[in-house]
Structure 1
Amino acid sequence: MPTAHQHWVYVWIPLFTAIIWFGTLLAMLITYLAEGRPHYVSEDGSIAYISDVGADILKPLFVTGCAITAVGFVLSLVIERWLRHSGRLIAEMRRRERVLSILAIIASFIGGMGLLLLSIFDTKRHPSLHRVFLLVFIVGVGLSALFTIAEYRWLSKDFVELRKLRNAYIVKGIIAGILIVLAVVFAITLYTAVNVGAVVEWVIAFGYTFYLLTFWYDLRMAKGVHRGEFSRKRLIDMEKQGIPISAATAGHEGNPRRSDAHSTTTSGTMGTVNGYPVSHAGNDRGANRGYTGHNTRGYA
């Protein structure tokens, strides 16, 4: 049986990435304020943009922080895809979820490259290139978020009984939605109200930390899960036997254990599917609530 912290190492990647990104921004902001808000060469208004601070003495810190964040962001999506493919996270039931996941990874790579290159080609020495790569970063991350949210939306629609899977989709949607709206505001104010644009940029950058943390939440669902335990084949086998998915995930991060869902005297008996224990809780309305009956729809 898997231990409580098996595969726990994956969780630290998005968490570490978020800490590095937040720490980089905080160090830059504190330095800027501690120096009395100096006016940088590349600065147009009275409030410095992140890129203005990052183009000066703190450029090595900015480049390093952006590089680690870019790699960590892509890795978080790649690991999520691998864990889902290997059955340590709830498997995708249709081809579209796989396609959306791959598109999210490609977009994250584009966004990550944009982030790295905008820090290298700073606004003081390469203003035109800097803005191009800033646009690449915003569009790449935005598309990646939209693809990921769409993937989670379809997954949560198939497994409506899994509370944490649904929560992941909702939280991602809220955070990404707010950041996308702010990005539009930033694009407008960048040319019309530079001081407002600077403030919005700092808010977006710090807000990106919370989006990175959503992957920490996602990967925690693989903690203590065997390879293949949530595979597509096993989930379909359970469906054919009329066993709710919540029975397989009880006790894991995806669906915390319920005392009534595993009671052999009031809720049913214990059995196995493909060698893994599940509760045949035929009389447990709580365990069966939200079960969508996948077998009637078919998968591609």
Structure 2
Amino acid sequence: MFHLRAVHHRFLVTVPAFAAFIWFSSLLAMLLTWLISGRPKYVSQEGAVAYISDVGASFLKPLFVVACCITGVGFLLSLILERLLRHRGRLVPEMRTREHVFGILSVVGAFVAMLGLVLLSGFDTSRYPSLHRIFLLVFMIGVALSAIFTVAEYRWIAQDYRDMCKLRRAYIAKAIIASILVALAIAFGITLFWVPNVGGVIEWIIALGFTLYLLTFCYDLRMAKATPQLPNVVKEAATSEGGRNGQSRVVEEKGGSNHA
């Protein structure tokens, strides 16, 4: 598909990088607009701090909708590219069915997140408050599930390729960022009803922090640079003392040819 074996890794990295840039710059523009305008209170606003949805429901709604659509699609494409590159040999391949399943589930989670993000931007909080909150919850759940499955997939792959420290760094970074965002999302859900001003601040932090999670895929896709020169690997299956299958050891063959 699209001759992925020949596509330069820098072109692949631009997908999550562009999505992160659009997301961050749009949020920054919305935040600065609210601050520079003298912190006006919007129709849908309850506390003193304007939520992203409040600003997004104002005259800046076109910007908010476009940013959400580009970010959602970019997030999904980053996961799909990772799947295709791993399947076609540009990234280290999976050794077990469970890793393949985790990879597919991470894409499904990203698709759910994309739908939630696009729909919450269209159904603004001013005219559709209930639907907006439902789609916001869908977006958060989709991102959380996608992150969990991605981290699980990377962790199992890293166990097969013990010398691939880049994989370990990738899933550790994702796990740390995702854990912080999930914890903040739980705090946001609580403060949304009890301390709206604090909830508004937390929402901006979560949204801006999502930029970091998008940027982790730049690191993932950049690993496609060296993969065509990876030596052949010999996988020796082993069974642990507890009778569990799936533990493996990968030995690199010196002077191996290109990975097929």
Tell me the residue number matched to 1:187. 189
Tell me the residue number matched to 1:173. 175
Distance 2:52 2:126 in 1: 12
Contact 1:5-1:224 at 8 Å conserved across structures: no
Q: Select the structure of larger CA radius of gyration.
A: 1
1:98 aligns to 2:100 (yes or no) = yes
Tell me the residue number matched to 1:271. 255
Tell me the residue number matched to 1:295. none
Contact 1:17-1:69 at 8 Å conserved across structures: yes
**Paired residues, number:** 244
Distance 2:193 2:162 in 1: 44
Distance 1:137 1:93 in 2: 31
Shift, 1:223, TM fit? 1.4
Tell me the residue number matched to 2:52. 50
Contact 1:87-1:230 at 8 Å conserved across structures: no
Tell me the residue number matched to 1:75. 77
SS of structure 2 residue aligned to 1:160: coil
Q: 1:207 to 1:142 in 2, by over 3 A?
A: same
Tell me the residue number matched to 1:296. none
SS of structure 1 residue aligned to 2:255: strand
The one-character-per-residue Cα deviations of 1:148-201 (angstroms, maximum 9, x if unpaired) are 011111111222221111100110000000000000000111111100000000
Shift, 1:224, TM fit? 4.9
Shift, 1:230, TM fit? 5.6
1:218 to 220, 223, 239: 220
Task: In structure 2, give the amino acid aligned to 1:21.
Answer: W
Distance 1:210 1:271 in 2: 38
Unaligned stretches of 5+ in structure 2?
Answer: 1-5, 238-248
Distance 1:191 1:98 in 2: 40
Unaligned stretches of 5+ in structure 1?
Answer: 248-269, 278-300
Tell me the residue number matched to 1:286. none
Distance 2:132 2:87 in 1: 37
Contact 2:235-2:251 at 8 Å conserved across structures: no
Q: How does 1:128-277 map to 2 (within 5 A)?
A: 128-226=130-228, 234-236=232-234, 244-245=251-252, 271-272=255-256, 275-276=257-258
Distance 1:238 1:11 in 2: 33
Contact 1:67-1:116 at 8 Å conserved across structures: yes
Contact 2:234-2:250 at 8 Å conserved across structures: no
1:24 aligns to 2:31 (yes or no) = no
The one-character-per-residue Cα deviations of 1:111-167 (angstroms, maximum 9, x if unpaired) are 111001000000001001000100100101111111101111111122222111110
Q: TM-score, normalised by structure 2?
A: 0.88
Task: In structure 1, give the amino acid aligned to 2:172.
Answer: I
Contact 1:91-1:230 at 8 Å conserved across structures: no
